[in-house]
């Protein structure tokens, strides 16, 4: 396996592990992406053979922020739709006011 390809796989596996994914899930992801199981296993062995380095723990507020952003986007969409419905009702009332409430 060329060194750059091995580095690519091992770097991707390390990133997945840093995000909290399991080794088996990370390996399976690379296999599903078209890498051979032998390449992925060799890259995983490279990671295991390296001395463990102190890594920054996964920042839980970052995951919370992503969830908050998604919630904000959903809220904006819902409020926008409610606003459109209110405008349609107001326009209908404006057009037919006399027919509805006229004497």
Q: Which of 11, 26, 49 is the last residue of a domain?
A: 49
- Structural domain harbouring 32: 3-49
- Residues 67, 41, single domain; the answer is no
Answer yes or no: do 33 and 12 share one domain. yes
Is 37 a member of any domain?
A: yes
pTM: 0.46
In this predicted model, which residue has the larger pLDDT, 66 or 92? 92
Over residues 39-70, the pLDDT tens digits come to: 899 888 888 776 554 445 555 555 556 666 67
Three-state secondary-structure class, residue 38: helix
Joined tokens for residue 50: 């390296």
Q: pLDDT band at 1, cuts 50/70/90?
A: low
How many separate domains does the chain show? 2
pLDDT in the model for residue 54: 46
Reported as type and span, the H/E element at residue 98 is helix 60-101
The most confident of the ranges 4-8, 43-47, 78-82 is 78-82
68 and 102, same domain (yes or no):
yes
40 within domain boundaries: yes
């Amino acid at each position: 396996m060329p060194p750059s390809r091995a580095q690519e796989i091992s770097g991707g596996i390390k990133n997945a592990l840093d995000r909290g994914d399991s080794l088996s899930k990370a390996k399976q992801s690379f296999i599903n992406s078209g890498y051979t199981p032998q390449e992925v296993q060799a890259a995983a062995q490279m990671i295991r053979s390296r001395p463990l380095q102190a890594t920054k723990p996964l920042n839980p507020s970052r995951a919370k922020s992503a969830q908050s952003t998604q919630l904000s986007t959903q809220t904006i969409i819902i409020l926008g739709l409610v606003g459109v419905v209110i405008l349609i009702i107001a326009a209908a009332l404006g057009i037919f006011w006399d027919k509805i409430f006229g004497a």
